[in-house]
Chain A
Amino acid sequence: MRTFPRRLGVAIIVAAIVAFLSIKLNAFRDFQIAEIAVEVTAVAGLTVLTGLSGQISLGNGAFMAVGAYATALLLLHLSWPFYLVLVIAGAVTAVAGAVVGIAAARLRGPYLAGATLLLGVALPSLALAYPGTFGGDQGLNVVFTTPAFLGVNFPLTRWQAWVSTVVALVVLVLLANLDRSRIGRNWRAVRDDEVAAALDGINVAAARVRAFVVSAACAGLAGALLAIVTGLVAPGAFTITLSIALLTAAVIGGLGSLAGALWGSLVIVLVPTYVTDVSTSHGLSSAVGSNIPIAAYGVVLILVMLVFPHGIQGGLLRLISLFLGPDQKSRTRRDAPTPHVTPSADQAPASTHEKEGTS
């Protein structure tokens, strides 16, 4: 119980810092703050799914699309207040996550990755197939304005940054509590050893579906935020590049760690703009400048997985433990997925899942 007020306190301090920064900085930085908040919301959901429950998703961009289109349609046709729209967008996406989660509960590793990848490719094409409802390639415009009590001179980008930051922080606090609750413990148990978890009386399938619901709801909220920040919801924004960027951020930050979700999001949002600026000022073409970060992410993703599987957050915790003594080390272990080696599954092809089929 002690930890909840502490987390709330940290969230309020971060909110105050962001509010201060957004007043001091220009509109472009406000936009970047909003972008980071959107990314954090989605990546936090993915890191819970992949890092805690052990299920990979290459299709969380599709859930973002669901949230974004729900937001656009509700604002466009019903003009409800945004906070209500946000809740409904999250709920709609959670339902979508439950459907996908039920289908995915039986799938493992590469099969799940492939199926969610196809989801990420297929779902946005729905917008092209039904242009009457979803606006086709052009997408839907989203009108979002500052509330009247802030006065007419309050910049829209600042308001967008504030709204996005508040949503992201609420999501982080809620997820942090979930992580330490029975639900979170069950996820870790299922991730580390399914059979042992089932023997302990954990409903493995339910735990897996629950993780998908939570992850999808986060992605849906992120999609809703993206809709109001960019003012446009179009299928081009929800390619599998987006889904893979979310995974990249989660892995770079440290899978399973909510703080890692923040570090990963900072890297994913800020580094490309920086690299593009530097490379264009050094006379490189924009095609080169915009692709250097992509190639670099690939390299980083491989290196993190091979050499440094706990990501930035794991590295930070190790640094802290160097200064504070060994008792902090246990945190590193708990937050990051523990690599459990199952050599038999890799080496003997006629193993586990074929035997399942015969029974």
Chain B
Amino acid sequence: MVEFLQFTLSGVVFGMIYAAIALSLVLIWRGTRLLNFAQGGMAMLTTYVAIEVIYKTHSYWAGFVIALVAGLVLGAASELTVVRPTTGKPELNAVIVTIGLLIFFEGLAGILFGGQYRSFPAAFSVTGLRVGGTPLGVSRFDVFTVAAVLFTTLILAVVFRYTTAGLRMRAAAFNATIARLSGIRVARVLTVGWALAGLLGALAGVLVSPATFLYPNSMDAIFVLGFTAAVIGGLDSPAGAVVGGLLLGIALSYVGGYLNSDLTSLVALGILVAVLMIRPNGLFAGARMRRV
């Protein structure tokens, strides 16, 4: 029973990381109908920025904040330079361009920072918490991870729901042509979407790296699981991304705990295929579809 609780809690922690990546993919998908394969690479690069700043300034929070800012800049810059020219071309072109971006980021990280595994500091203690002598299997830093992702998600939800800027973004995502006719600068909105996605990726990178080490390919596995989470929830649904991330995190935690940790990516593949076969638009797409 204690084991079950531990697996569930650590599943929630990793699930929130997948949720952050999934959410960043959803933000871009809603605006541009494009899956950003460079998302993991962007997260990795900004995490390197964080580690360098932390070594220079000896302040975790300086690194944390600068990584998020770097994520914003990197996301916007990627959209403006290489993604925008693919508009109107076959979707395969955009896919290959973002893959090119991924390889470029990984090569760049190798050139600038070397290929060796680096440990990344955590903001809080990583020793396990206990309740009345029972170990919970999660640490203070894990609690911070969950809180940070939830907080960012809530902020985004509030911005999207209650501000004019958020309304513009939703309008642009809903129907770009009508939004443009209504005077919304759709192109600028898309850039903002990419910037926010970059920020979420940076957050995920900084939060997951204490557990995984940091190296040029370190976010590859996290990215594919984030993608799986996004597909589970439906690439159109931000709430679905978070729930998808949690479901996937918990499921994979059970697989790793009770079966074999080497099987987790295979199980993720099984889940992905099953979801795509049964509900290709994700678990959360139903209601919206009928309204269209």
Contacts and interface: CB of A to CB of B under 8 A. Distances in A.
A115 interface: yes
A142 to B, nearest CB: 23
A355 interface: yes
The majority secondary structure among interface residues of chain A is helix
Main SS class of interface, B: helix
A78 interface: no
Interface string A338-359: 0111110111111001110110
Interface in B98-113: 99-111
Contacts of B115: 287, 290-291
A111 interface: yes
Given A56-B95, A301-B96, A301-B97, A291 B111 contact: yes
B37 interface: yes
A299 B105 CA distance: 10
A211 interface: no
Contacts of A346: 32-33, 87-88, 91
Contacts of A294: 103, 106-107, 110
B107 A309 contact: no
A98 interface: no
B103 to A, nearest CB: 4
B159 interface: no
Contacts of A118: 224, 227-228, 265, 268-269, 272
Interface of B: 29-30, 32-35, 37, 82, 85-93, 95-97, 99-111, 114-116, 173-177, 216-217, 220-221, 224, 227-228, 231, 236, 260, 262-266, 268-269, 272-273, 276-277, 280-281, 285, 288-290, 292
8 contacts: A109-B91, A115-B273, A117-B37, A118-B228, A122-B266, A288-B110, A298-B100, A302-B82
Interface of A: 50, 54, 56, 58, 103, 106-111, 113-115, 117-119, 121-123, 125-126, 128-129, 239-241, 244, 247-248, 251, 285, 287-288, 290-302, 305-306, 309, 337, 339-343, 345-350, 353-355, 357-358
